[in-house]
Amino acid sequence: MEMETELVLSSSLHYMLPRKRAVGGEAVVVEVEEDNCKAGSLKKPRILTATIGPAEATGNVNTNSSIGDNNSNHSRGDAKPPIMALGEGNPPDIDEDLHSRQLAVYGRETMRRLFVSNVLISGMQGLGAEIAKNIILAGVKSVTLHDEGSVELWDLSSNFIFTEDDVGKNRALASVQKLQELNNSVVISTLTTELTKEQLSDFQAVVFTNTSLEKAIEFDDYCHNHQPPISFIKSEVRGLFGSVFCDFGPEFTVFDVDGEDPHTGIIASISNDNPALVACVDDERLEFQDGDLVVFSEVQGMTELNDGKPRKVKNARPYSFSLDEGTTNFGAYEKCGIVTQVKQPKVLKFKPLKEALKDPGDFLLSDFSKFDRSPLLHLAFQALDKFIMELERFPVAGSEEDARKIISFACNINDSLTVGKLEEIDQKLLHHFAFGARAVLNPMAAIFGGVVGQEVVKACSGKFHPLFQFFYFDSVESLPTEPLDPSDLKPINSRYDAQISVFGAKLQKKLEDAKVFIVGSGALGCEFLKNVALMGVSCGNQGKLTITDDDVIEKSNLSRQFLFRDWNIGQAKSMVAASAAASINPHLHIEALQNRASPETENVFDDTFWENLIVVINALDNVNARLYIDQRCLYFQKPLLESGTLGAKCNTQMVIPHLTENYGASRDPPEKQAPMCTVHSFPHNIDHCLTWARSEFEGLLEKTPAEVNAYLVNPIEYTSAMKNAGDAQARDNLERVIECLDKERCETFQDCVTWARLKFEDYFANRVKQLTFTFPEDAATSNGAPFWSAPKRFPRPLQFSIDDPSHLHFVMAASILRAETFGIPIPDWVKSPMKLADAVSKVIVPDFLPMKDAKIVTDEKATSLSTASVDDAAVINELIMKLEKCQKKLPPGFRMNPIQFEKDDDTNYHMDVISSLANMRARNYSIPEVDKLKAKFIAGRIIPAIATSTAMATGLVCLELYKVLHGGHKVEDYKNTFANLALPLFSMAEPVPPKVIKHQDMSWTVWDRWILGDNPTLRELLQWLRDKGLNAYSISYGSCLLYNSMFPRHKERMDRKLVDLAKEIGKAELPPYRRHFDVVVACEDDEDNDIDIPQISIYFRV
């Protein structure tokens, strides 16, 4: 439920936007020249390149119109100013195919607000480019790029837009075309001359990445006092240090502080007390906190609570809470009831920059091991500003004199403080700060591009809690462990000079010669490729980057997988991404593969491939694939850099040989699955209904037609398999196939309509009548308790009506898909409600008579609805005979067309059927229904995803990549991170070390693998272990036992080669590229204690 409230705005301007992302439209470049006349006056925009696509051809060139009454910074005396400046007018239709993953995070209302928001980004070095990328992908109305400077070779360390050919061009102008390609629905314009504060009135949010404090204070004061206020963000990246400051005005309303769905509970009892105690069923833990507001609904007995009034929670516990009021005068609670959290808007009062600098309040922390770091960095960034103002340049990397000046400025600022004065200044840290101050590093730009991009979305929409107000971050632990020689930091006239000024030329060489494997080229993979290309990873003569992904590009990828374009849809992700990365840095040595990294492709990713790698970077979207790569990295002792995102959340995990535990060492608990009987007979939320709907879709339209074809392709083999199985599942399969080919077989489209209409009756009327016949509303359990007690909901059958559009829509969508499975042409009249209603009226619906002995599964532990029977085998024989009769009636060569569920095509009727099934079922059980988009999220198991959290995760990982490729860092230097940009929350901690096992004077961890070469015999292996004080009593290869000390016959194998035993007994297939195989050995020490030893690799080839 979205808590996004429309605000009344002071402007009546009507803005038209392109309704869909254009394909093939060229860039629109608009340069606005400064006019130093009266405030707010701008010259008419001058079109520099006027080749525009059809979607941009109308009303999108002049982007300097303001939203809201922005012509004056004074409010009208007779009107209360709005709290924040949000866009208005008619927002465009949302392209749900394109934005589905983003919609799952933001919701429609937030997206509409973004679509009418204008944003300014000042400073188009690496940080500005990252911010622009993220908000253009998000889909604001317009982005204006401001930069007065020209592209330098130095910029190529961090800016993915620029190439060496752009050196000397204005940064803003050089950025437009590539940024426009990201989203043609966003109008991109430029400002290339000095900015005046009056020009800021054109925007809802302004971002400054490279401006002096003096100028920033002037701009912020204007934005803060403007009516309505303009959200102001200042952010800088200086080497391995970064900062953000946000001021969204005197009063800013946050409509949804965390983006989470409101918490709910199913009520079990409510006391008539003061305060009242509310107990909920123990189906799921309650997530309420003291002070939350909740509303009640569907309560029977104590109906006074159903008044919609929010009530305050106190004494919140896992399954109960108290109300901050009494219910002694209310009716007695009888049964039922839902309690739902009410999410409250929050008003934040921001201080302007000038005040906040002197009194910053609480800093947002990212790492508790650096608890005292933020106040020092607050001084450092002010000292750097003073240095630049006085010397008109940045400090020089390696210059002790410049570092001393920065330290002196910081000390002077500290001495002038009356509040928050630091007792001690960490001069070593300020040295690092000064040395890298000119450099914008790509990983830092990616992190802060994600953070700031998210703050822009918050500013434009009121969705999520803004950063309040300062955030400082550093990663000095990414520096090489040994002191850097100042001469190693000097520029060498290369595109990596900025990075060299921080890390030195020696580490740069290691980056360039690295052999890296990136697994996956989706959203994370695209960001990683961009990052490593800019860092120069695998760009040297010895370097090589391998990327693999077996997927192809879909439209829904384009809202965050930024290396892909409209014209790439249908192409291989890895190929397109590799080509795009090579255009960012032509020196990148990259090979793109389309193989899924799995046991089946170990001939491609063989031992030699893994042994040659230096590091592996996962960019995967599922746990099983991650676990496989983790096992390979563990086996070959390669560092694995792991990350993942979920909406506004992201996490990173460093898996470093011998220093940290591996990815698979700790796992999240499995998601709680609803019991099968709940899904099929007793749903109590829409998720249950959608799970059931998808299961029915796959059963009716995919599995049964596939089963029919399996029989028709080879009847003898199929029936033989069913006889051999002889169980309830085989019986069910045969019954479904016969039903499909006999009484439910369709030959005309009218047959399909009949089938759909009868399915409606079966699902939403007859099954409910049977259920309530078997378990009436007053039914009791075996111990006398009411059967229909929470969380069960008593259902009511639906009466089909051709006047109900949702009923007709179900019949239309279901009949179309049924026709597809039978290869029946679909007539145009099916989409005419009147004609479809006529066809439905012809269907004869038989009366329903409930069965007295119907078996309905109520056991929550049951895993199947099929019930075994002693005569299954006899029934199967009868069914096979029936099936053979059905087959004789079929036309020669008859086959069905199974339909595989595809969620991302809104024209295929798949989601229409699933959402209709779910909503009709929800209607049976009085569960709130959902629209097709929400149904798609749940049934399609869509993972919410946005560009900002993806960018941040990859930036954090690449800061760790510096450490891995340097090779000398300790476990405490590495960082695992969890972040939630919605809150915002940043939590960094050192990784967990691996568990150590000790035996005598030896010790080992999960990272160790013992290697025995020279093609040994069984006797030689046993002796090798005895020399370590270990007595092996069992040796196995896979599931086959090669040796067990208890079997006398196994002693005959002592002098045989282990490889021969593995081939003969274990049926090992050892292709030419395999040089070894692995055995698992169970050992004891001399006191008969079991010792868990590492896996042993037997090398039988040189």
- Positions annotated as catalytic residues are 677
From residue 103, how far is each of 3, 80, 112, 182, 937 by CA, in Å? 15, 32, 10, 18, 9
> Using CA atoms, how far apart are residues 531 and 662, in angstroms rounded to an integer?
24
Give per-residue burial for 932-956: e unless 16+ CB within 10 Å, then b. ebbbbbbbbebebbbbbbbbbbbbb
Q: Is the CA virtual torsion 420, 424, 426, 430 positive or negative? A: positive
> Using CA atoms, how far apart are residues 559 and 565, in angstroms rounded to an integer?
10
> Using CA atoms, how far apart are residues 920 and 689, in angstroms rounded to an integer?
9
Contacts of 411 (CB under 8 A, 6+ apart): 425
The two three-digit tokens of residue 740, written as one number: 């499909």
For residue 469, say if its preceding peptide bond is cis, omega within 30 degrees of 0. Answer: yes
> Using CA atoms, how far apart are residues 394 and 791, in angstroms rounded to an integer?
66
Element holding 582 (H helix, E strand): helix 573-584
> Using CA atoms, how far apart are residues 808 and 814, in angstroms rounded to an integer?
10
> 308 in the Ramachandran plot: left (φ > 0), alpha (ψ -120 to 50) or beta?
left
> Using CA atoms, how far apart are residues 982 and 903, in angstroms rounded to an integer?
27
> Using CA atoms, how far apart are residues 739 and 593, in angstroms rounded to an integer?
45
Beta strand pairing status for 590-593 and 640-646?
unpaired
For residue 984, say if its preceding peptide bond is cis, omega within 30 degrees of 0. Answer: yes
Strand boundaries in 538-685, DSSP class E: 544-548, 590-593, 615-618, 640-646, 649-655
The two three-digit tokens of residue 1079, written as one number: 């055995």
Beta strand pairing status for 1076-1084 and 1031-1037?
antiparallel
> Using CA atoms, how far apart are residues 145 and 119, in angstroms rounded to an integer?
9
| Other C-beta atoms lying within 10 Å of the C-beta of residue 798 | 19
> Using CA atoms, how far apart are residues 1002 and 1085, in angstroms rounded to an integer?
13
CB 186 within 8 Å of CB 142:
yes
DSSP letter (8 states) at residue 702 = I
> Using CA atoms, how far apart are residues 976 and 1048, in angstroms rounded to an integer?
52
> Using CA atoms, how far apart are residues 97 and 15, in angstroms rounded to an integer?
23
Which residue's structure tokens are 């690496």?
126
> Using CA atoms, how far apart are residues 145 and 191, in angstroms rounded to an integer?
6
Contacts of 354 (CB under 8 A, 6+ apart): 217, 220, 221
Contacts of 486 (CB under 8 A, 6+ apart): 397, 398, 399
> Using CA atoms, how far apart are residues 565 and 104, in angstroms rounded to an integer?
22
DSSP string for residues in 1027-1077: TTT-EEEEEEETTEEEEETT-GGGGGGTTSBHHHHHHHTS-----TT--EE
> Using CA atoms, how far apart are residues 228 and 354, in angstroms rounded to an integer?
20
DSSP string for residues in 797-844: -----TT-HHHHHHHHHHHHHHHHHHTPPPPGGGG-HHHHHHHHHT--
